[in-house]
Amino acid sequence: MSTSLSPQHTVVVGCLVRNEKNELLLIRHHKRGWEIPQGRVEEGENLIDALSREVCEEAGVEIEPGPLAAVWSLIAESPAIIFTFLGRYRCGSLATSGDSEEAGWFSEAKALEKVTGSVMRGRLEALLKFNGSPVYYAYSTRPYQVLVEQNLSSPLPGQIHH
């Protein structure tokens, strides 16, 4: 029997939020730069509540959570599982917090210009091409590399779709 501890994953939620003009919500994190709002799920908190809380904390707005678009698995010494959703702006005025230095609404093209970190850029690009089926990604960092990309609604080999 192994005496090693079981893996301890950090659980994170993130959201690609669009407003009525179809602009994307980005926040500027003090270390990582521009990114979608995201953060850790707190002990005993469900994913949807965490998603709404994180967007409100980082950007000052309330959202209508939408579909799960992608699940990211960070394969590293400090592993993490990141659930990313799409969402719609409901109400509120942009405001920053301790986690964000700036928040703004941007066109897709401008958002892609602003998000320059490889991990966050890959996440934004994946969310922008969401086609209705969630996708699973496993990745590593240093350097950033996607190790697995799998559509989660694809049938298994030999499985018949009815």
Query: Residue 1's pLDDT is what?
Result: 43
pLDDT score of 123 more than 50: yes
| Average pLDDT of the residues in 12-21 | 97
pLDDT score of 141 more than 60: yes
Per DSSP, helices labelled H in the chain are 47-59, 108-114, 118-128
Instruction: Report the alpha-carbon distance of residue 47 to residue 54 in Å, rounded.
Output: 10
Domain ranges of the chain: 10-150
Query: Residue 9's pLDDT is what?
Result: 87
Cis peptide before 67 (omega within 30 of 0): no
**pLDDT digits 0-9 by tens, 35-68:** 999 999 999 999 999 999 999 999 999 999 999 9
Residues 6+ apart with CB under 8 A from 107: 23, 24
Among candidates 144, 4, 127, 150, which has minimal Cα distance to 74?
144
Which band of pLDDT confidence, cut at 50, 70 and 90, is reported for residue 24?
A: very high
Helix (H, G, I), strand (E, B) or coil at 77: coil
pLDDT score of 25 more than 70: yes
| Average pLDDT of the residues in 87-107 | 92
Give 10-150's CATH code, choosing from 3.90.600.10, 3.20.20.80, 3.90.79.10, 3.40.50.300.
3.90.79.10
